[in-house]
Amino acid sequence: MKKVRIFVVIFLLISIGILAFYFIPMRITPRVPLTSEDISIKVERAGGNTGPVFIVDKDKTKLKNILQEKYPDKDIEPYYIELTGNLPNGVVIDPSFLGSYVVHGTIISPDGGEEKSTIIDVKYTDAKISRFFRDDLPKSEHEILNVLIALVSSLVSIFILIIIFLARGRKTIK
């Protein structure tokens, strides 16, 4: 009975490991070295499909100070942000799944584009999404089958362990 319990625990740990591999969020864009010209600000997805789709909320004063230092002759009120460069949008069907995240890059234009938005060339982002929900990785039937088998085997292993511990508890009572 002890060998069965050890086998079931090992099987459960392997199943949970496979599920964790597919569902733990991972960074989408790889880190690259930044220079002194680069900035890091948190952007949020704005509603609507036209024009700039990102806004700066918490880092608005930080961005305003950077713009005043870099462009002292312009009075810029940063709110909308246009992002170019290494963006995570190709990884998901709907970028709203990513929510808000931090971008690291260089300011290209302080008040270009629509709505006089600041344009930032992004080197990398802190956006994360789990491997199973990424769209840039080809999903085969094997991956979906692996996740399904791991889920079912985890549930069955937990159920067997509960039965083993309940049966052991009954033996100690008698």
Where in the chain are the domains? 2-23+139-173, 29-126
Q: Provide the 3-class DSSP secondary structure of residue 103.
A: strand
Residue 41: pLDDT band by 50, 70, 90 thresholds?
Answer: very high
Q: What average pLDDT does the segment 94-122 reach?
A: 81
Helix 141-173 to helix 2-23 angle (10° resolution) is 140
Question: According to the model, what pLDDT value does residue 132 have?
Answer: 79
Where residue 99 falls (left for φ over 0; alpha for ψ -120 to 50; beta otherwise) is left
Q: Which residue is it, tokens 């952007």?
A: 43
| CATH code reported for the domain at 29-126 | 2.40.50
Residue 40, pLDDT score: 92
Query: What are the start-end ranges of the H helices in the chain?
Result: 2-23, 60-70, 141-173
DSSP state letters, 9-50: HHHHHHHHHHHHHHHSEEESSPP----TT-EEEEEEEPSSSS
Task: Count how many Cα atoms sit within 13 Å of the Cα of residue 171 in the half-sphere of its side chain.
Answer: 7
Whether the pLDDT of residue 33 is over 70: the answer is yes
Q: How confident is the model at residue 136 (pLDDT cuts 50, 70, 90)?
A: low
Mean pLDDT on 18-26: 88
Residue type, 65: N
Q: Which residue has the higher pLDDT, 7 or 46?
A: 7
- pLDDT-based confidence at residue 114 (cuts at 50, 70, 90): low
The pTM score is 0.71
Q: Which whole number is the average pLDDT over 32-58? A: 81
